[in-house]
Amino acid sequence: MENIEVIPMIRREMNRKHHTYASLARSLNIKSPSVLLMFRQPSLQVSKLIQLSKTLEYNFFREIADKLPYAEPANSGAKVLEKERDELTNRVKALEMEVAILRQTIRDMSSK
């Protein structure tokens, strides 16, 4: 598996958004030397990457995930919930139709 380099991604987005180290430091509420030190480290804390994603308005996590060779989960939570919601919606519609038929049947029987 290839080594995923996050710092070049951040630098690329900084350049694209016209951010300097100083402007990034201001956005992150840290000193410029801290930004330079962060860029020299071999790794980056997830919390910092979240802050950088917000500041640069870019989802670094999605780009990292796209570089991973692993498959998506077969049944992610959102997909399961969406399927369940659709099934329940269909069941409600079927029950509403059944209620309408029963009401009509009661009306027909009471009018005789």
Model's pTM, two decimal places? Answer: 0.61
pLDDT in the model for residue 90 = 93
Question: What confidence score (pLDDT) does residue 1 get?
Answer: 59
Instruction: Break the chain into its structural domains and give their ranges.
Output: 6-67, 74-112
User: Which residues does 9 contact at the CB level (< 8 Å), separation at least 6?
Assistant: 60, 63, 64
Q: What percent of the chain has pLDDT over 90?
A: 68
What is the tens place of the pLDDT at every residue in 1-50? 578 899 999 999 999 999 999 999 999 999 999 999 999 988 899 999 99
For the residues 88-99, what does the mean pLDDT come to? 93
For domain 6-67, the CATH architecture is Orthogonal Bundle (1.10)
Q: What is the mean pLDDT of the chain?
A: 90
